[in-house]
Homo-oligomer: A and B are copies of this chain.
């Protein structure tokens, strides 16, 4: 098994969280993969509601829950000791435990012993699978779209999920391919590309979107930015290994500098298009940009429409804010 794979249905564990911001992972899974979520489970004091059925560990297990998915992130990314009993009970009830926080389940001895005793798995989705290959560069069958960005954290995952969903709504064959922890939890499989050893990044990206039917689209979650002073190596390996036929540039309206790197101006959308094509051509000569996806949350609806219309005119490409206006205009370009 070369991808991290999770077993559905999930019981989403929300701890005693009262702040929705810290339950983003659980909310993302419930929003994008409701069919995989059989319920939610709180500790005393927890108030976050994902709109799923409330369960105890036992009632969830009785109704077939196969995985307890930790849907909250504490500040600092830890796994509180007070959770140990709950996690052990879930394992005794036959569930795997899945976490994407900074601390590793597999570093906590009591959990490791309980997993062994109960024949279940502790899955840290930040830890990449072992034995990933070096990239071969060989052309694979099927079609691929990669979301790229002018920076980190401006909608590459959301855009990919939205495009995948729209394609499937239209009856087309499509799979979302997760390259980060939240994406892996949402889709149930993937590879955390940024945690892969440098020599194997493009090989990991090749593994993530294997040969497929000629009409099938893999919609691949992008990472970082090819212009990023910290993370460009990740974006480079993902681009080379994904060998995308199509890419969408993701951007945030009003962002002028690389977030957290204030000395670096954001590259322009044109620069991102040019360099992505320049590098992407190495493994797919027919790579092309098919759209621009913008987080317009800083703008009014009218401003957003005007902003997107200006982009469409400048680049002669469909532009949208996937949250506000959907991605139908981009999907229309995918044959």
Assess whether A227 is in contact with B282, with CB atoms less than 8 Å apart.
Answer: yes
Nearest-neighbour CB distance to chain B for A287, whole angstroms, equals 14
Tell me the complex Cα distance, A233–B231, Å: 10
Flag whether A203 is at the interface (Cβ < 8 A).
Answer: yes
Flag whether A130 is at the interface (Cβ < 8 A).
Answer: no
**11 additional contacts, CB 8 Å, given A136-B229, A236-B236, A236-B237?**
A137-B230, A137-B261, A137-B263, A138-B263, A194-B199, A195-B198, A198-B198, A201-B233, A202-B230, A227-B282, A232-B282
Q: How many copies does the complex hold?
A: 2
Give the size of the chain A interface in residues (CB under 8 angstroms).
Answer: 33
**Binary interface encoding of chain A residues 259-289 relative to chain B, with 1 for a CB under 8 A from any of its CBs, else 0:** 0010110000000000100110011000000
Tell me the complex Cα distance, A257–B135, Å: 16
**Binary interface encoding of chain A residues 32-58 relative to chain B, with 1 for a CB under 8 A from any of its CBs, else 0:** 000000000000000000000000000
Tell me the complex Cα distance, A197–B198, Å: 5
Interface centre among A194, A195, A227, A234 (most CB of B within 10 A): A234
Give 28 CB contacts A-B under 8 Å. Answer: A135-B231, A136-B230, A136-B261, A137-B230, A137-B263, A138-B263, A194-B198, A195-B197, A195-B198, A195-B199, A196-B197, A197-B197, A198-B233, A198-B234, A198-B237, A199-B231, A199-B234, A201-B233, A202-B233, A203-B230, A227-B282, A229-B282, A232-B237, A233-B236, A233-B237, A236-B236, A264-B282, A275-B278
